[in-house]
Amino acid sequence: MKIVGAAACAAGIAHTYIAKAKLVTAAENAGHEIHIETQGTIGIRDNLTQKDIEDADIVVIVADIKISGMDRFKGKKTVEVPTDLVIKSPKNFIKKLESIIK
């Protein structure tokens, strides 16, 4: 499965990067491709390309705030969750995504 998406928290610092790291690790350990951009006080990092989005099986928005550029994901299966959910249970979140894609 190819997963793309964005991570963002209210401060745009710690939870954004912790959630991204845990999500990436869990996805890669389960054998999936993943590319997550971050949005925060230092701007957008690891930007997704249009090709990344087009090739994705699913889009994940791991955020506690509204993210920029949601229109890019129109027509894609999209799952939105708060950062705490991914931080606390990244493996279960990946399993949920797998069940959605089946």
Active site members:
9
Residue type, 65: I
∠ Cα 70 11 68 (to 5°): 15
Q: How far is CA 87 from CA 44, 49, 71, 82, in A?
A: 20, 25, 26, 9
The residue type of 101 is I
Entry field: residues in the chain: 102
Q: Are 79 and 61 in contact (CB under 8 A)?
A: yes
